[in-house]
Amino acid sequence: MDQRLKDAAQAGDIEALYALIREDAFVLKRIDELPIVDTPLHIAASAGHVDFAMEIVNLKASFTRKLNPDGFSPMHLALQNGKEVMVLWLLDVDKDLVRVKARGGKTPLHDAAEIGNLLSCLDGFFDACPESIQDVTNQGDTALHIALRSKKIKAFEKLMDWLRCSIFIDAQFWQEELLNWKNKQGDTLLHIAASSDQIQVVKMLIGKRNVVKDIKNLDGETAMDILRRHLTDRDIRDMQKSASGFLSSLLKSVRFNQIQVGVKERSKITQLFLSLLVYLGRTNKETPRETRDALLLVDTLIVTATYQATLSPPGGVWQGSADMNSHIRISNSTTEATSPHFTGTSVMSSETFRLFFLANTFLFLVTSLRILMTFFQNLNKVSFTHVSIVWLLCSCIFSLIVIAPTDRLSRGFRVVFYFYIAIVVFIL
C-alpha cells in the first residue's frame, strides 16, 4: 500500500484519500485484488476514524471482510484497540461481520469475550446476530469458554443471559448444547470454572438443570473430580444444595393468605415470566408461516372469549340500586334487609371464582403473549401493538379487582396488577 494512503488512513484525512484517488483511480482496486492485505480500513478501524472508514466502505465494501497479514479483520482490530463506536458502526454496515473468523478461528465475539469490558459491543452483537453464540475457535472454545478462562465474569454473565434469552431457529437446542460443549481438551464450562477456582460460577452452573455434571475431559476427570482438589465432599454437597432450583424455595417463601412476596422471589417470578416469553418466541420462530397464520386466528378467538368471560363472569354479578361500595339493600312490603354482597361483584363463591379466573386469566395471558411473539421477534422493539395488548391485559386484571366477590381476592388481584405493571416496565 502507498505510504501516503497509510498516512491518510492513520490521520483520518478524507481529503488526502480523494487526492490519491484522483491521482490513481485504481489505488483501492489493486489493494482489493490481494487476498491477505492491510487495507486503509484496517488502519482507520484501529485508530477509530469512523468518518474515514465510512468513505472507504462506500468505495470498497469488500474491505470489511479482508484479513491483514496478522490474520485480523477491521472489526477485530477495532475491538483490540477499544474502539467501541467503530465496532458498532461496522456491525451496522453488516451484522454478519461478527462471525468473520480471524487467526485461530476467533470471531469478534470471541475477542469481546476475552477483553471483557466491552459490554456494549456484546449487547450490539446479541441484537444484530444472536446466532453468533454458536461459533467456536480452532481449539473448540466458545465465547463462554473464553470469557470464563479469562475470568471476565461480567462478560460471562452477559453471555449466559444471551444464551437464555436469544430467539433464533434451534435456539433451545444450542442453549443445552453450549452449556455442555467440550473443547479439544474435553473441558466444559464446568471444568474450566472448577479448575480456575471460580466457585460462584460453579454454583451457577450446577443450579442449571441442563448442565451435565459427570462429563469427563481427556484426562478422564469430571468437574466434581477437579473440585475435590480444592473442596471437601461436605463443601461440595452444601454447594449443590444451595444451587438447587428456585421453585421449591419460592413456594416456601410465598404466603398466599396474606399475598406477600419477598424481593428475591419477585425477581425469580420475573425470570420465570421472561422464560415464558423466550419459550413462546422460540416456538414461534420455528413454526412455518402458514401455521403461524392459523394459530394467530385461533389465539385471537381465545383472547376474545377469555376477555369476555372476565367482563361477564358465569352467573353474572350482583344487581342492585346501591352504590358500588355499599351493600345491596333487599326489601319487600313489610321488611328491609342488607345483603352481605356488593353491587357489581361476582355471584360466584370465593373458591369457585378463584379457580375459574386463575385458569381463565392464565390462558388469556399466555395467548396474548403468543400473539405478541407472532409479530415481533425482538423484545427490545416496542410498537403500538405491544402497548395495545399490554393495556388490554391491564384492563382484564383491573376488571377482576372490581368484580372479585371478597375484599381479600380484590386485594390479591390488586397486587397482581401492580406486579404486572412492574414487569412490563422492566421489560419495555
Bridge partners, residue 317, by sequence: 346
Q: Which residue has the higher pLDDT, 116 or 413?
A: 116
Q: Would the pTM count as exceeding 0.75?
A: no
Query: E strand or H helix at 331, and its extent?
Result: strand 327-331
Is the pLDDT at 372 greater than 80? The verdict is no
Domain extents in the chain: 263-313+348-427
C-alpha atoms less than 13 angstroms from C-alpha of 68 in its C-beta half-sphere: 16
Residue pLDDT, tens place only, 125-162: 998 899 999 999 999 999 999 999 999 999 999 999 88
> Average pLDDT for residues 178-204, to the nearest whole number?
89
- The grid coordinates of residue 328 equal 345491596
Report CA dihedral (164, 169, 172, 176) to the nearest 10 degrees.
Answer: -90
The 10s digit of each residue's pLDDT in 216-249 is 989 898 888 887 776 656 655 665 555 554 434 4
Q: Which residues, 6 or more positions from 31, have their beta carbon under 8 angstroms from its beta carbon?
A: 1, 37, 39, 40, 60, 63
Check if the beta carbon of residue 142 is closer than 8 Å to that of residue 133: yes
Which of 130-134, 169-173, 314-318 is the least confident region? 314-318
How far apart (Å, rounded) are the C-alpha atoms in residues 310 and 363?
A: 12
Q: What confidence score (pLDDT) does residue 262 get?
A: 41
Query: At residue 307, does pLDDT exceed 60?
Result: yes
pLDDT in tens, 57-103: 999 999 999 999 999 999 999 999 999 999 999 999 999 999 999 99
Lowest mean pLDDT among 23-32, 269-278, 302-311, 414-423: 269-278
Average pLDDT over residues 160-178: 83
| DSSP states along 89-139 | HHHHH-GGGGG---GGG--HHHHHHHH---HHHHHHHHHH-GGGGG---TT
Beta bridge partners of 255: 260
